[in-house]
Chains A and B, each alone.
Chain A
């Protein structure tokens, strides 16, 4: 057995976690609106799910199109357990329910992973897709467990009170979720620091060489896969607690795509990437989703553009700037960035308004007036059309012209003799 472990975890390495805990505790007192707590709860759930997804895609190089399955199954069982607890057939305080969800996720991942992790790449992706579709289809058929189209619902407040807390308000649920977000994130971080976590990176980078240093790539993938299933299950139970209902929508291909989207936008190569992605994605979803029914189109387009031009995600974009920062040349970038910001914004606003206008005319043509960015105008007049088209065209033209300048400034800011980038 390996020997000689040095002292236990040092205090300094715990500092970021203590800060995170503090921030989580303070948040509901800063953003006090009922709506904001609901959003924060959703963010927390998405964080756990996106991070568990990144254990596969970012850490292990496994592209899954069916990760929502493990969250959904964990959630469905959690709702059933909630109902059993309500009937007082078993005794289980609500804060422990995520553990049940986690074990369910782990259980299914153990079974499915035993054959799906044999290959990585396209074969793994296709199996995950097939399993996802299979279970989503079963959702409709097996009504006893999945409740058919309507799904199943429960009541979290009927569990035995935990230290007098019955989890009636959103705020109480917030603290439960925050606790599990912190624990899960911490555990997932520790996982990356274990032998199998390190080997997951090695297998992602070069599976063949990993075999020649003594590890079976299949087993390394399998362990990561099971761990990811466990944390996805926790996210599922948190979802069940927060929303008290689960349907087929929570584990179908669309749900899995959402996870991929959030994780990718945040940045798959970084531990913090999925957290950034989850926060941003949920905020955009709830804020923009209320404003327009074209929200899915916008996210999809942004996603495609990111895959094409920013494969490292937002965290990667941020990390890119460490080099000019270290060279003390970050100032060289401020001017070109602020210069391109103005036409860039004009272009985006113009394009969005034009898209919305066309949508309005096509699908709500009978309503003459529409409101965009707090301005009401007549869609039949030529003025809005002209303005939006000019905004889009001019913004695009100037952005393109200035992009050259940004590129040049970037080259200068990162240039070091003899180093290729």
Chain B
């Protein structure tokens, strides 16, 4: 029972982290129609910038400054890169962001090297917050949880209650009309792209100490984030939220229950092969749930796209 609670909390934190990326990605997609494949690279940049700042001033300054730098960078990418490629159409836009992902990954290795960097959680949060029989939850994770929740409340408030949020929502559906009303839509686009990538940067800042900061971190999380937005339905914030939590729990639970396919086969009455390492079905016998955990999201993605191409909450194309 305690293990379940711990996994629920862990999965929630992971899921909210995913949502911090997928919400920005969804906002950018629904506004500009482009799926920013370099999104996770900005998440990684957030972590590395925060690390660099933390070596000078400590964790807390990095927490504030690093996402701001990422925001500015993201806005710059929109202004000087994406806006230019936009005139060639959607496919070049996708290719551009895909290429950008690899360039940022290479740049990070160029500056900080190929190994992980020692980016750690602050001393003040290095204690155990929750002690259960099945394991522990460190205070830093609770801090991650609080930050994510705070971000969502803010995001929701801005989108639903403020004037700028209304302009954004209007520009989502009727960019031409909004422009005709005298609002600077390109500026709104740039702002949304900047804030979206900034959110990814913030996710990197708080995830860095917990999930380790290394050049592969963008790739590791990035492809899962795409799964979230596509499974949830491209352009749907609710969908991204549900899918992020779903995948967060799916992966957490899969990683912690060591059920082997062999056990199931035994239970079904099959006999364990004598020389399992030379057996043609050896993979079936040695396969465990933690092993297939990483592929579950992709499996989910393919299944959803086959049976519900517009995603769980996506709008059907007319």
Give chain A's interface residues, CB within 8 Å of chain B.
57, 61, 63, 65, 115-116, 118-119, 121-123, 125-127, 129-131, 133-134, 137-138, 141-144, 253, 257, 260-261, 264, 294, 296-297, 300-301, 303-304, 307-308, 311, 355, 359, 362-363
Contacts and interface: CB of A to CB of B under 8 A. Distances in A.
A392 B316 CA distance: 52
A123 B309 contact: yes
A301 B283 contact: no
B309 A142 contact: no
Contacts of A126: 35, 226, 230, 301, 305
Contacts of B294: 137
B90 A308 contact: no
Interface of B: 35, 81, 84-85, 88, 90-92, 94-96, 98-100, 102-103, 106-107, 110-111, 113, 219, 223, 226-227, 230, 234, 280-283, 287, 291-292, 294-295, 298-299, 301-302, 305-306, 309
Contacts of A308: 81, 84-85, 96
15 contacts: A116-B305, A122-B94, A123-B230, A123-B309, A134-B295, A134-B298, A134-B299, A143-B283, A297-B110, A300-B106, A303-B102, A304-B81, A304-B96, A355-B110, A362-B110
Nearest to B311: A123
A311 B94 CA distance: 13
A267 B238 CA distance: 40
Closest 3 CB pairs of A and B: A300-B103, A134-B298, A297-B106
Nearest to A306: B99
A59 to B, nearest CB: 13
A289 to B, nearest CB: 13
A296 B102 contact: yes
B305 A260 contact: no
B292 A141 contact: yes
Contacts of A257: 98, 102
Nearest to A65: B98
B302 A130 contact: yes
A118 B99 contact: no
Contacts of B96: 304, 307-308
B312 to A, nearest CB: 14
B91 A307 contact: no
Nearest to A119: B309
B232 to A, nearest CB: 12
B209 to A, nearest CB: 23
Contacts of B299: 134
Contacts of B292: 141
Nearest to B223: A133
Contacts of A264: 95
Nearest to A261: B99
Contacts of A304: 81, 96, 99-100, 103
